[in-house]
Amino acid sequence: MSAGDVLAILRGAVVTVTLSLTGILIGLPIGLGLAVLRWADVPVVARIVAVYVSILRATPLVTLLLLLFFALPNIGIAIGPISAAILALVMNTAAFNCEVWRASLMNFPKDQYEAAQSVGMSAPLRFRRIVLPQIARTSLPGLVNEMSLLIKVTPVLAVVGVVDITRAAVRIGAETYDPLPPFLVAVALYAPIVFALVSLQRWIERRQIMAEAAA
C-alpha cells in the first residue's frame, strides 16, 4: 500500500464524515418533528408516522438505499448516488431519532407542562422554552448512540458507488490484490470516530446521573 493509497482512503474519510454529519444534522430535527406529531396525537398523521417509523426501523439500510437509488429514477425523479445516500441516511436515522425523542416526551413531567399552561404560555412558546430544553437533555445519550450507529452503516453507501472509506479501501484492495492492509486502515479510521462518540455518550450519561443525584 502506497502513500497515495492511504490518501485515497483519507479522502474517502472526508466523504464519510461529511455525509454522516449531513445525515445527522438533517435527521435530528426531522426525528423531533415526527416525535412531536405522534406525541400530540394529530389525527391520521400520528398513525402514519407510527407506521413509517415501524417500517423504517425494520428495513435494512442497504435495501432502502437500493430502493431509492433505483426506484426514484424509475418514477421520474432523477437522483444521483450522493443524494440517494443522504436521503436514505436521513429517512433511516429520523425514524430511530423519533423513538428517542418520543421516549423523552412521554417521560416529560406533566405538571411542568401544566404549570406553563397556567401562566398563559402559548403552545409554541411552551414547547420552545419549557419542553425542548429538557427533552434535549434527556434525549442526548440516545441521540449520540444513534449517531454512532449511523456512522457504522455508512459503508453501505459504497454499494451505490459513493467513494467513502469502505469503497476506497475495497478499490485499493482490488487494484493491489492485497485487500487486508487497506481494510485495516479503514478500521483504523472508523474505530476512533465511533469510539469517540461512544465515550461521549457514556460521559454524558455519567454527568446526567451525577446531576440528578445532586438535585
Binding site for another protein (CB under 8 A): 54-55, 57-64, 66-67, 70-71, 74-75, 151-156, 158-159, 166, 169-170, 173, 178-180, 183, 186-187, 190-191, 194-195, 198
Nearest residue (CB) to another protein, 33 versus 179: 179
Residue 131 Cβ vs another protein, minimum distance, rounded to whole Å: 27
Torsion of CA 162, 57, 131, 108, to 10 degrees: -150
Nearest residue (CB) to another protein, 17 versus 62: 62
CB-CB contact of 176 with 126 (8 Å): no
Taking the complex as a whole, how short is the minimal distance between the CB of residue 183 and another protein, in angstroms? 5
Q: CB-wise, 67 or 132, nearer to another protein?
A: 67
User: Nearer Cβ to another protein, position 7 or 71?
Assistant: 71
First to last CA, the chain: 55
Q: Report CA torsion sign: 90, 91, 96, 101.
A: positive
54 Cβ neighbours under 8 A, 6+ residues apart:
none
